[in-house]
Structure 1
Amino acid sequence: MHELVIKGGRVALDDDFAECDIGIDEGRIAAIGTGLAGQSQLDAGGHWVMPGGIDAHCHLDQPVWGGAGNADDFESGTISAAFGGTTCIVPFGMPGPDMTTIGAVDRALDRAAGRAVIDYGLHAVVTMGTGSDVEEQLAQLAGRGIASVKLFMTYQGFAVDDDLFFKILDAARGLGWIVMVHAENDAAIRRTRQRLIDLGRTDIRYHVVAHSETMEREATHRALAFAEMTGARMTIVHVSSWQSAEEIARARTRGVDVVAETCPQYLFVGAADLDRPGKDAARFVFSPPPRSPRSQEHLWRELIDGGIDLWSSDHSPYFFADKVGRAETPGFTTTLSGIPGIETRLPLLFSEGLVTGRLTLARYLDLTSRKAASIYGLAHAKGRIAVGLDADLAIWDPTARWALGHAALHSRVDFTPYEGRNVTGKPTTVLVRGVPVIADGVLRSQPGFGRFVPRTAADPAQSGKPVEETTPWLDA
């Protein structure tokens, strides 16, 4: 007799659906089969029982930069995530000015405790200002359940130089960590931005020019060359263009251990969306920016064929007034970069990928939960429907037809770039560790139910070989 049995649903078990029951005890999946009995039952008849999603790239309650703070804290952000079928997130311990990497993680943990309604981990972040003792800081964080670090190749106050880049890669390799890289060429962006300003071309449409695909491609190539030199594991986050995707494919043929991540905005928003009047166009400003139809088509192929590993939101929540600032006519130099997406991430892919048959079930599960768990050290607890793992489940009505829009969503952000887009499929009940956080479309969980999940690093012995350990004179 199990504490809870979910009955009657179509259950997503790795590569195929099965008509079966799920028995849950002490927050974990205890049995998968038919005829299971429970002290209580949850009827999933006519619905699909999916693993809870894992969003491994999102931003919540970060320190103020550029005069604006995040609209979502860990309470509103995780509520929004849960309504979108996500049961675990891995946001960033983002540093503020004069803050160490450890201090930034401590700050994020303090902000999450007592607020989150779903489980969470944290990525570390290193910048030029987070301390010269990067190896010691990362080693300390490894003992606290952190297993990844992010660095930026652009943005004033965040971009690292090559010396620090290599120091991070070497430290991460020794710890079995993965390094997440925002790959855009900072010097090229600054050069082009100033030339556009000098020419009077400051309309929002020029954001696409200031952050061109070439700048992303060059930085991606360079980051992957650094990974090849050091033997480190790397994620290229928010891959937006066909050019960057091809750089990743080429690096893989050379044996580089690289993960490719993309986000819904690169499939569902295009460069033409910025060619609108200022305040309308501002809803579509993020970095890297939306791209050409060619890039969108290429990324869809990569999602289908397995070239892209992760589907993350890059949820960057700003109130619209903060986003556009005080400029009478918003331009690309005055509009904050970033859009919400933590709740719409899964419904978009469920509707346009899984329901349409564009994606197999296996690819959908890889993109939305399974690979995030394995890549970021959560597979011991989450990411699949399997005996022994946390009972993190999302029960979807696959026939529900609804419109994405601010009024239907739960983030504090007062706009969405997907306003009015119709989708098919909606999570109606969402469980975290066997407890309904959302039940029949109603929030049931209290802030603080979500827990910090320590993550496990990879075995450093399985890392690639750094260049100094090669012996090219012995090559056949």
Structure 2
Amino acid sequence: MHELAIKGGRVAIDDGWVECDVGIDDGRIAAIGNGLSGRALLDASGRWVMPGGIDAHCHLDQPVWGGAGNADDFESGTISAAFGGTTCIIPFGMPGPDMSTIGAVDRALDRAAGRAVIDYGLHAVVTMGTGADVEAQLSQLAGRGIASVKLFMTYEGFAIDDDLFFRILDAAHGLGWIVMVHAENDAAIRRTRQRLIDLGRTDIRYHVVAHSETMEREATHRALAFAEMTGTRMTIVHVSSWQSAEEVARARMRGVDAIAETCPQYLFVGSADLDRPAMDAARFVFSPPPRSPRSHEHLWQALIDGGIDLWSSDHSPYWFADKIGRSQTPAFNTTLSGIPGIETRLPLLFSEGLLTGRLTLGRYLDLTSRNAASIYGLAHAKGRIAVGLDADLALWDPTARWTLGHAALHSRVDFTPYEGRTVTGKPTDVLVRGVPVVADGALQVQPGFGRFLARTAADPALSGKPVEETTPWLDS
């Protein structure tokens, strides 16, 4: 007799569907089979029992940046994630002015405690201003369950120089960490943005020009070359274009341990969406920007064949008024970059990837939960439906047809770029560690139910070989 038995559902186990029951004890999956009994029962008839999603790239309750704070804190953000079928997130300990990397993580932990309704980890962030003792800070955070660090190649106050880039890579290599990189060429963006302003070309559509695919491609190539030189594992986050996706593929052919992440906005929003009246176009401003149909097609194929490893939201929650500022006619250089997406991430891919047959079940599970767990050190606890793992589950109604829109979502952000889009498939019940967080369309737990997750770094001995340890004279 289990504490809880989920009965009668179609269960996604590894790469196949099994009509079976799931028994849960002490927050973990205790049995998978037929005829299981429980002191409590959850009828999953007509629904698909899926692993809870893991969103490994989202932003919540960060220090004020660009003159605006986040609309979502850890309470509203994790509630929104849960209603979208996500049971675990890994946001960032983002630093504010004069804040160290450790101080930024401490701040994020303080903001999350007592607020999150699902489990969470944290990525560290290093900038030019987060402290000269970067190696010591990362080493200390490794002992606290942090296993990844993000760096930026653009944005004033965040972009790092090459010397610091290499120091981070070398430190991460020794710790078995993964380095996440926002890859855009900062000098090229600054140069092109100013030239566009001087020419009077400030309509929002020029955001695509100021952040061209070439700028992303160049930075992606350079970042992955640095990973190759140091032997460090690297994720290129929010891959937006066919050009940067090809750079990842080429790096892998050279033996680089390169991971590619993309986001819904790079499949479902296009550069033409910015060629609208300014107040409408502002809803589609994010960086890197939306791309061409060619990039959409290329990224879909990469999702299908494994060229893309991760499907993340890059949820960047700003109120629309903050996003456009005080301008009566928002311009590309005055509109704040970032859109919400933590709740729509899974429904979009479920509807347009899994249900359409574009993606196999195995690829869908890889993209939405399994790969994130494996890459970011959570596979010991989360990411699959398997005995011994946390009972993080989402029960989906595969026939539910509904319309995405601000009124239907739970984020505090007052707009969505997917307003009016109809999707099929909706999570009806969501469990974290066997406890219903969402049931019958209602929140069931109090803020603070979610726990911080200490993650496991990879064995540094398995890291790649840095260039100084190579012996090219022995090559035949």
Give me the TM-score of the superposition, normalised by structure 1.
Answer: 1.00
Match of 2:227 in 1: 227
Match of 2:253 in 1: 253
Structure 1: gaps spanning 5 or more residues: none
Distance in 1, Cα, partners of 2:66 & 2:205: 21
Give the CA deviation at 1:170: 0.2
CA deviations on 1:22-80 (whole Å, 9 max, x unpaired) are 00000000000000111110000000000000000000000001110000000000000
CA deviations on 1:142-165 (whole Å, 9 max, x unpaired) are 000000000000000000000000
Match of 1:3 in 2: 3
Match of 2:280 in 1: 280
Give the CA deviation at 1:289: 0.0
Write out aligned runs for 1:424-439 (5 A).
424-439=424-439
Distance in 2, Cα, partners of 1:309 & 1:271: 24
Distance in 2, Cα, partners of 1:361 & 1:425: 14
Distance in 2, Cα, partners of 1:241 & 1:262: 9
Distance in 2, Cα, partners of 1:327 & 1:53: 38
Write out aligned runs for 1:433-472 (5 A).
433-472=433-472
Match of 1:46 in 2: 46
Match of 1:217 in 2: 217
Q: What is the letter of the counterpart of residue 360 of structure 1? A: T
Distance in 2, Cα, partners of 1:4 & 1:414: 37
Distance in 2, Cα, partners of 1:279 & 1:164: 39
Provide the alpha-carbon RMSD of the alignment.
Answer: 0.3
Give the CA deviation at 1:445: 1.0
The structure 1 segments of at least 4 consecutive aligned residues displaced by more than 2 Å after TM superposition are none
Q: Secondary structure at the match of 1:386?
A: coil
Distance in 2, Cα, partners of 1:320 & 1:298: 31
Structure 2: gaps spanning 5 or more residues: none
Distance in 1, Cα, partners of 2:14 & 2:370: 9
Give the CA deviation at 1:441: 1.0
Distance in 2, Cα, partners of 1:162 & 1:315: 28
CA deviations on 1:418-456 (whole Å, 9 max, x unpaired) are 000000000000000000000011111100000001000
Q: What is the letter of the counterpart of residue 381 of structure 1? A: A
Alignment of 1:173 with 2:164, yes or no, is: no
Q: Secondary structure at the match of 2:58?
A: coil
Alignment of 1:353 with 2:353, yes or no, is: yes
Alignment of 1:136 with 2:139, yes or no, is: no
Write out aligned runs for 1:63-462 (5 A).
63-462=63-462
Give the CA deviation at 1:323: 0.2
Distance in 2, Cα, partners of 1:17 & 1:371: 19
Give the CA deviation at 1:97: 0.3
Distance in 2, Cα, partners of 1:243 & 1:67: 32
Q: Secondary structure at the match of 2:57?
A: coil
Distance in 1, Cα, partners of 2:357 & 2:105: 40
Q: What is the letter of the counterpart of residue 21 of structure 1? A: D
Distance in 2, Cα, partners of 1:426 & 1:14: 21
Distance in 2, Cα, partners of 1:230 & 1:58: 27
Distance in 1, Cα, partners of 2:323 & 2:72: 14
CA deviations on 1:81-112 (whole Å, 9 max, x unpaired) are 00000000000000000000000000000000
Give me the TM-score of the superposition, normalised by structure 2.
Answer: 1.00
